[in-house]
Amino acid sequence: MNLLIIGAPGSGKGTISNNLIKDYDITHVSTGDMLRQAIAQNSPVGLRAAEYMNQGQLVPDSIIHDIIVERLSMDDIKKGFLFDGYPRTVDQAIDLSSILEQLHMKIDAVLELEIDDEILKKRITGRRLCPTCGEIYNIYSKPTKVEDICDKCGGKLITRKDDSLENLTVRLDEYHRNTQPVIEYYEKMDLVKKIDADKSADAVYDDIKSVLEGLK
The one catalytic residue among 36, 48, 88, 121: 88
Closest-CA residue to 65 (of 99, 38, 41): 99
- The yes-or-no answer on residue 128 being catalytic is no
- The yes-or-no answer on residue 88 being catalytic is yes
Contact between 117 and 174 under an 8 Å Cβ cutoff? The reply is no
Distance between start and end Cα atoms, the chain: 9
- The yes-or-no answer on residue 123 being catalytic is no
CA dist 80 and 74 (Å) reads 11
- The yes-or-no answer on residue 160 being catalytic is yes
The one catalytic residue among 71, 127, 128, 193: 127
Provide the sign of the torsion angle of the four alpha carbons 151, 157, 159, 161, taken in this order. Answer: negative
The one catalytic residue among 78, 152, 160, 177: 160
The sheet that has 81-84: what strands, in order across it?
A: 27-29, 81-84, 2-7, 109-114, 192-196
- The yes-or-no answer on residue 13 being catalytic is yes
Distance of CA 70 to the CA centre of its chain: 20
Rounding to the nearest 10 degrees, give the CA dihedral for residues 82, 203, 7, 150.
Answer: -110
Residue 65 phi, psi (nearest 5): -55, -50
The one catalytic residue among 13, 123, 128, 193: 13
Distance of CA 147 to the CA centre of its chain: 31
CA dist 65 and 7 (Å) reads 22
The one catalytic residue among 121, 171, 194, 199: 171
Contact between 15 and 7 under an 8 Å Cβ cutoff? The reply is no
Which residues are known to be catalytic? 13, 88, 127, 160, 171
